[in-house]
Structures are given as C-alpha cells and as structure tokens.
Amino acid sequence: MRSWLPRQVGGCFWFGNDDGNMVAYTPIYCSMTERPECYNTPGADELNFSLKNAYWVENWVANMVYPRYRLMFPDLKAVRDSLQQAYFDQQPTVEETALKMTPSQMGDYLNAYSIQQAQQMLARWQQLAFYLVVKYNDMAVKPEENGQFKRSKHGLGAPVKRPGYSEAFARRLVKHTGDRYAFPEEK
C-alpha cells in the first residue's frame, strides 16, 4: 500500500495459493475489476480439480514435491524464482507506464497486466507439473542435457538414475524395522 501513488497503482499485493515456499507470487493490483480465470475458475472448488485453476495446479506440484523434497524442490525453486524475478524486474516499467495514463486507463492496463501474469504463472506451473511427472517417474530420475531429456542411441529414454533413500533415512528405516524381515538361520 503506497499512499503517495494514485490508488490504481499504489495498491499491489503478491498472491499465491499454496505453501509459501512452493508458489510463485503474482502481482495483483487492488484496482482490478476482473479476476484472472486461474484464481476464479468456474467449476473448480475443494472437491473438483481443474488444470485451469492455480490452487489445484500449485497444490498438485507441491504434493509431488513433498515426499522427495531433496530431489525435486530445486526444480520447483528454479521455476518459482525465475517467474518472481521476472515480475519484480517488470514492476518499475509497468508502474511508470501506468502513471502516464488517465485513471481509467491505469485501471484497465493494470487489470490486464495482473491477469496476464497470473495466467502466465499457471501455464508455467502446469509445465512444471508435467516435467516433474516425467523426470521423477517411478522413483527414478531421468538424465537431462541442455534442458532436454537424454535419449539412447535407439531413441529411447537414456538409463535413469535411482537415488534411493538418503543414508540417514535408510539407517532410521533399518533401526525401526529391526529383524522383522530377517531370514531364520538354517541348521
């Protein structure tokens, strides 16, 4: 809230739908008269998933990352940080442009800008979801090179890596399991 600016520009908040570290916050100007579809998706609610809904797509991604946070979070973080940095970098130019307009034009311009950024975030988060499914399918990690998944000389996916559990988790698992699965000694 920046009271020294016209109200159309001065009120801007950064919105995200899920865990604070697992979303890219998008700029939403308080002068908006229309909501982005991704934040107001017809038919989407707590019982109806939609790929057009930011809440659901952001939750889907976060729920994929939770169980393998150490492996997958760096991929999420890279996308999150690149989007947010782009938004931060654009803000001065967007606001300078808006300040040269009439109040009505400002509102329309910032409304369109906020919608565009929100929908862009959703599109990028959908890409991230599909990427994570492919890269980490079946508890494996597909190798990449120059932003592309590697292929074998026969055109199939290159051999995957299977990182398994962390050493600390494996030790806890063995300790917790004890000899429950030990074979009896033969005589």
- 120-137 confidence digits (pLDDT tens): 999 999 999 999 999 999
> What is the rounded distance in angstroms from the CA atom of residue 6 to the CA atom of residue 50?
36
**Which residues fall within 8 angstroms of residue 94, CB to CB, at 6 or more apart?**
110, 113
Structure confidence at residue 174 (pLDDT):
85
Residue 96 lies in a domain: yes
State the total domains in the chain. 1
Instruction: Indicate whether this model's pTM tops 0.75.
Output: yes
Residue 180 vs residue 132, higher pLDDT = 132
> What is the rounded distance in angstroms from the CA atom of residue 53 to the CA atom of residue 134?
21
**One-letter identity of residue 83:** L
Look at 29-38, 40-49, 177-186 and tell me which has the smallest mean pLDDT: 177-186
Structure confidence at residue 134 (pLDDT):
96
Rg for the chain, CA atoms, rounded: 23
**What rounded mean pLDDT belongs to the chain?**
93
Structure confidence at residue 155 (pLDDT):
93
169 has a pLDDT exceeding 90:
no
Q: Which has the closest alpha carbon to 143: 161, 128, 124? A: 161
Residue 1 lies in a domain: no
Residue 92 lies in a domain: yes
> What is the rounded distance in angstroms from the CA atom of residue 165 to the CA atom of residue 173?
10
144 has a pLDDT exceeding 90:
yes
Helix 54-65 with 69-99: angle, nearest 10 deg: 150
186 has a pLDDT exceeding 80:
no
Residue with tokens 């016209």: 6
Residue 65 lies in a domain: yes
Structure confidence at residue 187 (pLDDT):
65
Residue 143 lies in a domain: no
The SS3 of residue 10 is helix
> What is the rounded distance in angstroms from the CA atom of residue 126 to the CA atom of residue 54?
9
142 has a pLDDT exceeding 90:
yes
**One-letter identity of residue 66:** Y
Q: How many residues does the chain have?
A: 187
DSSP letters, 105-129, are HHHHHHHHHHHHHHHHHHHHHHHHH
- Structural domain including 72 reads 7-138
40 has a pLDDT exceeding 80:
yes
